[in-house]
A and B are shown apart, each in its own frame.
Chain A
Amino acid sequence: MPNALFARLEQKHRTIAYPDQEPTLPDRFRGLPVIDASKCGEGCRDCAAACPTDAIAIDRERVRLDLGRCLFCDDCRSACPEGAITYSQDYRLSVRTREDLMMEGETLKLAAALDEKSRRLFGRSLKLRQVSAGGCNACEADLNVLGTIVFDLGRFGIQFVASPRHADGLVVTGAITENMRSALLTAYEAVPAPKIVIAVGACAISGGPYAGNPEIHDGIGSLLPVDLYIPGCPPHPMTILDGLLRLLGRLENREKTI
C-alpha cells in the first residue's frame, strides 16, 4: 500500500488541459491536408496517380480531396513536384455528412452540434457502444486511449459501455466486413432510439486501404445513418475527442479562444 501511494506521487498528474489549452502534437503530425492548387503544373496528375485510395481527383485545374478516403499518408506529398501539398497541424477533421469530407481548396466544414433536443438528451451524458467490423485495432486503440488518464473521457460525460442496450449510439470502426454485417446491424437495433452513429477511420467511412475488396462493404455507406464522420488512418485521439465534443456542442463557446 505505501508503495502504491509513493508510485502515485511519482507518476504525477497527467490529464491534459484540453479544451482549455490546445494539445501538443508532434511536429511531423499529419493533420488537415492543404493543397495549393495555384502551384500545380499544367496537366500534372502526379498526386492523384500516387494516392493509394484514389482520394484525389483532378478536374482541369481543380483538385478535389476526399478526406473520407484519405489515409493521411505521405504518398501524394512526396509525389508532388511543386511542393503544393502539405499537412497542417490541424487535428480538427470531423464533419456531419459524407459530402462535407469532399474538400476543394476551401476550409473544412467542421461538424455542427446535434439539434437542441438531442443535445438535451446526450449533451451531458453520452454512452457509446463500440463495434469493430473489420478494424485493424489502430482505430480501436486510439478510441480506448481516450479512457486513459491523459484524455479522461469521463470528465466530459462520455463513456464506452458494454451493452448496446445501455448505449445512446454506436461508434463503428473497420471496413464493415461481410462477416460482421449482421452483427453490426443487430447491435444497432439493440440501441434504444433516439440513437446516433459515429464512423471512425477511413475504413468505416470508405473501406480505406481495402476499398473494392468483395469481402467488405466499403465502409458503412447506407447500411446505417451516420451522424458524425471522423476521418484518419487512424484518427489521432485528439481528432476523435474534438469530433465527439463538437457533436455535443461542447466546443461552441470556445471556438474564439482555440
Chain B
Amino acid sequence: MNGYENFVPMRLGRAIDRDSLKDASIDDFREAIVDSVEAGYRVAALFAAPAAGEAGVDLYAVLADASRSLLHVGKTRIEDGAYPSMTPEIPCVHLFEREIAEQYAIRPDGHPWFKPVRFHASYAPGRDAWGRDPDEKPIAGDIDFFRVEGDEIHEVAVGPIHAGVIEPGHFRFQCHGENVFHLEISLGYQHRGIERSLIGGPTKRTIHAIEAAAGDTTIGHATAYCQAVEALGGSRVPGRAEVLRGIALELERLANHVGDLGALAGDVGFLPTASFCGRLRGDFLNLTALLCGSRFGRGLVRPGGVAFDFDQERIASFKQRLASAFTDVTTAVELLWNSSSVQARFEETGVLTKENCLALGIVGPAARASGVDIDARVDFPSGVFRFTQIPISTAKTGDVFARAFVRWLEIQRSMKFIQEQLNALPEGSIRTAAAPPRPNRLALAIVEAWRGMICHVALTDQEGKFARYKMIDPSFYNWIGLAIAMREGAISDFPLCNKSFNLSYCGHDL
C-alpha cells in the first residue's frame, strides 16, 4: 500500500516513543488510510492533537488489522487548517472528520455532511471550522437538517428530552405517512467537556471522569484507561487482577444485554419478559456490587490492577447467585423466541446490511448481527482474553431479531466464561503500584465493551502529562447505523430499533 511506510505497527500493552512516528505528507496519510480500509482494515481512531511546541495541528490515525491483531499508527501535520476529506472515499471516517473540525478547527474539504458533532467552541482559540463567530458558544442542534421536499412529506422532530427516563438527543425524521425516508440524529446535549479536561492529567480526578463518561460502561472505559496508563508507565498487572477485570467486563455485558432484551420485549408490548428481565438486570448489577460495593463497578478497576478481591466465601455466594440468575434469564428469554407475536415484530424490522455495516465501520453486537465477524476480545485480545477465547457470536439478518439474538448468544458465552474463570482464579496479589506515564509516549487500548469496541489513545508530553487523551465509545461508531437502519422503515418502529442498538448519548457526547 502506498504511503504506508510512515505508519508504525503496534501491539496493545506497549507504548511507543512519539518521536518514532514520522510525519507523512497529507497525500500519503490519506492514501494509506483509504487503501488500508479498502484492504479490510478498520479506522479505530482518527483524531487531531496540537503539534508539540510548534504551530499547527497533527492528525493521528489508528488502523486496525484484525487478521494479524496488529494496529498501525500514523500522523501528518496540518498547517493551513484544511485537508481534502476522506469521507467521500471511505464513509467510516465521516464522524471523525466532523469531530476533528469541531475540536481543532481543521476543515475536511469536500465532506458531504459537514455539521458540528457536540456544539462546543473549538479548542483552537479564535478559530472555527464553519466560520461562525468563535467567541459565541454554538447552540446545540443549530444546524440545517436534511429535508425531503414534497406535498405529502412531513417532518417529525423528537427531543432533546424524550418520553422515558433516558438521556437527551435530537432526532429529525423525514416521513411519507408512516414511512421514514430519512432520519438525522443530532447529539451533543450531554457534552461535559471530558476530553478537553483530561489534557494535563492524569490527576486524582481522571479515573473518576473516565468511569462516569458512560456510566453503564464503567468497567469497559476504566479498563481501557488503565491499560493505556499501564502501557505508558510500563507496568504489569497481576494475573488475578486481569481475571477479575475480565469477570467484571462480562458481568457488565450480562447486565446490559439482559436489560436490553427486557426493554425490547417491553417495546413490543410483551410484558412477561420485560418484567422478568428488568429484575434480572439488577441481579447482575448486584453481583458487581458483591465484588466491589457498587452496582456499576465504580472503584473496581484501577491502574495496576483492581481494588477489590474475592474470598472463598464470596466466590461461593457469587456462583450460586449467578447460576440462579442464569436459570431465570433462560426462561425469560426463551419466551421471546417462542412467541410468534414477538417474532413478527422483531423480524425484518430495522435491517442494517452487512455492506453498510462495513462501509460505516459499525462495531459490537450491531455489526455481528449483520454477519460481520468482529469482536475485540478475539481480534485485539488484552488482559485475560489473551489466554482464553470467547467465540464470536454472529447472526445474518441484521434486523431487530438478529440484534436481540446475538445478545442472547453473548449472554450464554459470558456466563460460561465467568463460571470457568471463577473455577480457575489465579492466586496472588490483585494490584501492583502503577508506574507514572513516561514522557513523550503514545499508547493504545482496545476493549470489547458490551456495546462494542472501545478505543483509547493516550499521548504524553515531555513531562509525562497527557498532551491528548482520545476516548472513543462504541456509540460514536454506531449512531449512524441506527439512522441508516430506519430508512424505509415505519416511524412507529423507531423506539424498537433504537432499543435494539441501545447506544449511549453521554458516551458519544463525552
Binding site for B on A (CB under 8 A): 3-4, 6-8, 10-11, 14, 26, 28-30, 50-53, 71-75, 78, 87, 130-145, 147-150, 160, 162-163, 174-175, 177-180, 183, 187, 203, 208-210, 213-216, 233-234, 236-237
Contact = CB atoms under 8 A, between A and B. Distances in A.
Given A52-B205, A149-B279, A210-B209, A215 B331 contact: no
A160 B192 contact: no
18 contacts: A11-B328, A51-B204, A52-B207, A132-B166, A132-B168, A135-B506, A136-B213, A137-B167, A137-B215, A140-B165, A142-B295, A149-B279, A160-B165, A179-B140, A179-B189, A210-B212, A213-B196, A236-B295
Contacts of B167: 132, 135, 137, 140
A73 B192 contact: no
Interface residues on B, range: 35 or more
B332 to A, nearest CB: 7
A174 B307 contact: no
B164 interface: yes
A4 B337 CA distance: 12
B192 A133 contact: no
Contacts of B303: none
A148 B191 contact: no
B275 A148 contact: yes
Interface string B93-117: 0000000000000000000000000
A235 B172 CA distance: 34
A88 B234 CA distance: 37
Contact of B282 (A26, A130, A150): A150
Contact of B328 (A10, A139, A141, A175): A10
Nearest to B274: A148
B204 A52 contact: yes
Given A136-B215, A137-B167, A7 B189 contact: no
Identify whether the interface residues of A are mostly helix, strand, loop, or mixed.
mixed
A144 B165 contact: yes
A257 to B, nearest CB: 25
A53 B335 CA distance: 46
Nearest to B194: A210
A150 B328 CA distance: 15
Given A130-B164, A180-B140, A183-B189, 20 more contacts: A3-B338, A7-B332, A26-B293, A134-B192, A136-B212, A137-B215, A138-B212, A141-B216, A143-B165, A144-B164, A145-B282, A148-B275, A162-B164, A163-B163, A174-B190, A179-B118, A180-B160, A180-B190, A210-B197, A213-B193
B286 A26 contact: yes
A149 B280 CA distance: 10
A4 B275 contact: no
B190 A73 contact: no
B293 A30 contact: yes
A138 B272 CA distance: 25
A139 B193 contact: no
A229 B291 CA distance: 28
Nearest to A161: B163
A52 B208 CA distance: 8
B160 A216 contact: no
B50 to A, nearest CB: 18
A227 B279 CA distance: 30
Interface in B125-149: 137, 140
B335 A233 contact: no
Contacts of B193: 210, 213-216
Which of A14, A50, A163, A177 counts the most chain B CB atoms within 10 A? A177
B308 interface: yes
A51 B292 CA distance: 19
B223 interface: no
Contact of B197 (A130, A134, A213): A213
A28 B289 contact: yes
Contacts of B166: 132, 140
A47 B212 CA distance: 22
Given A136-B213, A180-B189, A209-B208, A11 B165 contact: no
A154 to B, nearest CB: 12
Interface string B282-319: 10001001111111101100000001100000000000
Contacts of A175: 192
Those 7 A-B pairs whose CB atoms lie nearest each other, nearest first:
A138-B215, A136-B215, A28-B293, A215-B193, A148-B278, A162-B163, A179-B140
Nearest to B300: A74
B290 A26 contact: yes
B218 interface: yes
Contacts of A139: 215
Contact of A4 (B188, B207, B293, B335): B335
Nearest to A207: B192
Nearest to A179: B140
A16 B296 CA distance: 21
A133 B167 CA distance: 8
A71 B298 contact: yes
A213 B168 CA distance: 20
Contact of B506 (A7, A134, A163, A233): A134
B479 to A, nearest CB: 15
